[in-house]
Structure 1
Amino acid sequence: MNLEKRISALSRLGEALKVAAEVLERGELGFSESESAVIDVQRQSTVMNPWFSKENIVFSFQAWSKLLTRDKLEMWISVYDKKKLEIGGSKQVAVINAGNIPLVGFHDFLTILLSGNSYVAKNASDDKLLLPYVASLLISIEPEFISYITFTERLKEFDAVIATGSNNSSRYFNYYFGKYPHIIRNNRNGVAVLDGSESEAFFKSLADDIFIYFGLGCRNVSKLFVPVGYNFDLFFRSVYDRNLVMQHNKYMNNFEHHNAILLLKQIPFLQNGFLILLENPAIPSPVAVLNYEYYSDEGQLFNTLIEQKENIQCIVSSNEKIQATDKLKSIVIKEGKTQEPGLANYADGIDTMEFLLSL
């Protein structure tokens, strides 16, 4: 399949995802076969994994539909060897997908197919339906893709591996797949650096970075760095309109569990009825908990962030100094945009397209 066919089909997939999101937002029983199909997939996905709420699936569909345009796809690949892209790869690329948020593995799916290689994937048990559904949309647009896409429970024949999992599973991935060309990703999280000058509008946008996908994504903000003596009142007031998470049973079970544990252990914390703020040096935080850490010196803070860069997916901050810091500026992102990365914003900073074109 030539490059033009791939770009054309993938841009039309963006249009199909936009329509699918609109169908789900209407909340009505579909009248056509395609409308019924997306409603059925959403409902089954939510039953299988309650973290995959309809709202989160809609958000994912919408986010990808905005990226899958001809202009954006062509701009993305313009920096790579056009001859290699035109020819296309001929490799079988095995992918082990995580299942923490809806369509978490879509970027790998997109990159492998756009590079002309074949996609062979093992999906997480928590997310077995959404990516195959999107693949079926693509195949209906361009039937030639059917020979390029395989979903399987057991990976057998492949030439390269892309695997995403926890820090623990990544060690196993390295052991089993180390002899193949590979990208192995482990746990990372987003953080936010505050300096006290933030507005209510900033915090309302930051709330997206904290609460979308219930905070389960690797780009979700799980920790705040704040100046010594920082007052959280404006933060709590600004994010209170996210209290709809209180209607989600699994989320509130997590909130009540951590709230009770901290009370029993007599560990100081702040909470507003649905979010716990806990002083904790760790970057990852459990669902319904947001860690924070005080800093007194910006230079020392920046050094800490540089040292911890391997554990940080992105940094949200309006601080111009951090935006200009050479070793950090590539992962600094505007508030409210952590879950809307561009096509060239590769997970863990590893250029997947370059990797695929080198096979």
Structure 2
Amino acid sequence: MNIENQVLGLIKLSDYIRAYLAKSTEEFNEDDSEFELLLKKSEIENPWFTIDNQKIAFQQWANLLTEQNIRNWIKDYSVSQISKRVGLILAGNIPLVGWHDVISVVLSNHIPVIKLSSKDKYVIPFLLKKWKEFSGDQVEYEFVDKLENFDAVIATGSNNTARYLEYYFKNHLNIIRKNRTSVAVLKGNETEEELKLLADDIFQYFGLGCRNVTRIFIPEDFLIDRLFESFIGYKDIINHHKYANNYDYNRAVYLLNQDKFWDNNFVMLKEDDKLFSPLSVINFSRYSSVDDVKKFITENEENIQCIVAKDELGFDSIHFGEAQNPGLDTYADNVDTMKFLEIV
């Protein structure tokens, strides 16, 4: 396969997505109408994949897959001279969550053998079809119901599923990903704009991604009301029936248990040391010393995907509002997928 044609095809795909997003339905051609129909089918079968959230994911990828970004990303990696079959078991918690693995395998000159998530089974096949078309048939891939005849595997699942996958694929080169989540550390001097951007890190995609913040560290004198004020832009999230069901259930549990929590009618804040929080709940804790926060993060490092914080706090962190905007060289579980694919 010709890597240069694949790169050019991927750039054209990005341009196509960008153009599609800019059109009104009256301007759609046949391909655009097919694409729009797949988005609607995805939302019908998986209500978490709203049309708006899917289009947010497409816009992020269109912005990311520029020629400069792609070439800067792949220039430091060697391309395999022999194409191998790399099994991909894709997740479906947020739209296009498996797309990075797919393009990584293709641009490493391997063949992705893809087991789609039942929650996200329409859009990736369409994107691959268009990429193949734009690259002059220089993209090879295969969709399967069960992985067989492969040389390596990249799989994503829950912690329980990961134990099974690790055993099942123990004789193959593999990357097995587990549950992760993200945290935010506030200093107390954040602007209102920064806190509104933190709301994006929490609520985008309903909080279902590993890069969504589920735990916040705040100074001892920080006012909880400041968080609720910054969240108000997401108040309509409660109108989504699946989110509302989670909110109602968790609120009822806390009331029955007489747990202390703060509530603004669409999200709850709970003072809790747990890293993971239920959907519609954000755990928080107060700190007197940043060293205590660093100790917690170090102890839970394998379960944390990213840290949102000000640079001055001294964490290896990202800026507010950037949790769902990783670069091409940002890898799930901090395992370099492209390096792995060099040795397949």
Q: TM-score normalized by structure 2?
A: 0.96
Counterpart among 86, 90, 96 of residue 89 in structure 2? 96
Q: Which residue of 2 aligns with 1:48?
A: 45
Shift of 1:300: 2.1
Counterpart among 63, 66, 90 of residue 63 in structure 2? 66
Counterpart among 131, 144, 149 of residue 152 in structure 1? 144
Matches within 5 A, 1:273-312: 273-312=265-304
Distance in 1 of aligned mates of 2:98 and 2:333: 14
Q: Is the 8 A contact 1:222 1:291 kept in 2?
A: yes
Distance in 1 of aligned mates of 2:165 and 2:51: 32
Matches within 5 A, 1:2-17: 2-17=2-17
Q: Which residue of 2 aligns with 1:260?
A: 252
> Which letter maps to 2:111?
S
Q: Is the 8 A contact 1:89 1:357 kept in 2?
A: no
Shift of 1:313: 0.2
1:168 equivalenced with 2:160 (yes/no): yes
Aligned residues: percent identity? Answer: 40
Counterpart among 329, 333, 336 of residue 348 in structure 1? 333
Q: Which residue of 2 aligns with 1:181?
A: 173
The list of structure 1 runs, each at least 4 consecutive aligned residues, that deviate by more than 4 angstroms after superposition, is none
Q: Is the 8 A contact 1:119 1:149 kept in 2?
A: yes
Bigger mean CA offset, 229-238 vs 261-270: 229-238
Shift of 1:89: 4.1
1:198 equivalenced with 2:198 (yes/no): no
1:217 equivalenced with 2:209 (yes/no): yes
Residues 177-213 of structure 1, C-alpha deviations (whole Å, 9 max, x = no match) = 0110000000011100012111110111111101110
Distance in 2 of aligned mates of 1:158 and 1:126: 24
Shift of 1:226: 1.3
1:208 equivalenced with 2:205 (yes/no): no
Q: Which residue of 2 aligns with 1:20?
A: 20
Distance in 2 of aligned mates of 1:89 and 1:69: 27
SS at match of 1:224: strand
Distance in 2 of aligned mates of 1:76 and 1:243: 38
Distance in 2 of aligned mates of 1:70 and 1:219: 25
Q: 1:89 to 1:210 in 2, by over 3 A?
A: farther
SS at match of 1:21: helix
Give the paired residue count: 344
SS at match of 1:333: coil
Q: Is the 8 A contact 2:272 2:284 kept in 1?
A: yes
Q: Is the 8 A contact 1:88 1:115 kept in 2?
A: no
Residues 102-122 of structure 1, C-alpha deviations (whole Å, 9 max, x = no match) = 111000001000111000011
Q: Is the 8 A contact 1:93 1:158 kept in 2?
A: yes
Distance in 2 of aligned mates of 1:217 and 1:149: 26
Shift of 1:299: 1.2
Q: Is the 8 A contact 1:200 1:235 kept in 2?
A: no
SS at match of 1:121: strand
Shift of 1:354: 0.5
Counterpart among 227, 237, 242 of residue 245 in structure 1? 237
Q: Which residue of 2 aligns with 1:119?
A: 112
Distance in 1 of aligned mates of 2:339 and 2:28: 43
Q: Which residue of 2 aligns with 1:326?
A: none
Residues 284-304 of structure 1, C-alpha deviations (whole Å, 9 max, x = no match) = 122211111222221122121
Q: 1:261 to 1:347 in 2, by over 3 A?
A: same
> Which letter maps to 2:327?
G
Residues 188-241 of structure 1, C-alpha deviations (whole Å, 9 max, x = no match) = 111000121111101111111011100000101111011224311111112102
Distance in 1 of aligned mates of 2:164 and 2:26: 44
Counterpart among 312, 318, 322 of residue 320 in structure 1? 312
Q: Is the 8 A contact 2:38 2:122 kept in 1?
A: yes
Q: Which residue of 2 aligns with 1:131?
A: 124
> Which letter maps to 2:126?
Y
Distance in 1 of aligned mates of 2:268 and 2:130: 40
> Which letter maps to 1:14?
S
Distance in 1 of aligned mates of 2:292 and 2:269: 23
> Which letter maps to 2:188?
G
Q: Cα RMSD (Å) of the superposition?
A: 1.4
Distance in 1 of aligned mates of 2:223 and 2:98: 38
Q: Which runs of 5+ in 2 are unaligned?
A: none
Q: Is the 8 A contact 2:5 2:136 kept in 1?
A: no
Distance in 2 of aligned mates of 1:271 and 1:212: 19
Residues 256-314 of structure 1, C-alpha deviations (whole Å, 9 max, x = no match) = 11111111111000011101101121111222111112222211221211111101000
Shift of 1:3: 2.1
